[in-house]
Amino acid sequence: MTRPVQRILLQTTIPFVEDDWHAGRFSLLARTMSELGDQVTARDRATRAGVDDPVLSKLSRDDFDQLWLIAVDMGDGITPAECAAIADFREQGGAVFVTRDHMDLGSSVCRLGGIGAAHHFHTKQPPAESERVRDDTFTQSISWPNYHSGSNGDVQRILPVMPVHPVLRRADGSTLETLPSHPHEGSVSAPQSDKNARVVATGTSKVTGRPFNIAVAFESQGDAGRGWAESTFHHFCDYNWDPRLGCPSFVSEPPSDAIEQDPALLDDTKAYVRNLVAWLSALA
């Protein structure tokens, strides 16, 4: 079945700041989606923290089919009105993808409920007590939750949770094996109260050997759209796909040139994006 063109809102949770993770730092993701024939609107907040954004606070199925929320704030990135609009959007059949990063980065998503409940942070919705341990031992300014899956600019091996989710299948039926790595991924889990949510992929720390969850899939419930929670936005960031494109000045870890030397290492990641867009459309 040929799926309809998806109208995708690729949205960060901060106003534009050049030296930060603004929407322009996800241009390769937006390009990949556009090359699928989908319509992508990539934007940052148009308002400061605490003031309703004119797009997010009025999010409507009349305008978009999918929301890809890139949470790069420190806890104040979504207002109550925006949370309500996002919840209504999904209830009306819109698909919602939410990602964040380590420690408290992106912790405003906790206000969302539902998919937001899948995300754990240092001061909000902390993970299980056994997971409250620093994993990335190199960057001492970052505490738990963090998981060292490798250097920016390289890939990590991922493991599917059985049964293999459609998003993790290549076109030939084989299983995707890699995603971009990052020195400190965040923590996600399937909310116990949601029977339609399950962990679908895991990774392994290259420092401690500890397993960690990478993605949680939320099946549709009634008329509600599908959802996805991802452990880090660095799986989709320009800097992780091509470190030559640069990063904010506060990133201190030296990157790898593995993907630069072998661009085919991104093949699984691009397939993952294609599959995610298709699955979220509820036609895959």
Mapped onto helix, strand or coil, the DSSP state of residue 109 is helix
Question: 26-75 pLDDT, tens per residue?
Answer: 999 999 999 999 999 999 999 999 999 999 999 999 999 999 999 999 99
**Could you tell me the residue ranges of all domains in the chain?**
7-280
Residue 139 has pLDDT above 60, yes or no: yes
What lies within 8 Å, CB to CB, of 105 at 6+ separation is 71, 72, 73, 74, 186
Question: What pLDDT is attached to residue 2?
Answer: 74
| Distance between CA atoms of residues 282 and 66, nearest Å | 11
Question: 88-103 pLDDT, tens per residue?
Answer: 999 999 999 999 999 9
CATH code for residues 7-280: 3.40.50.880
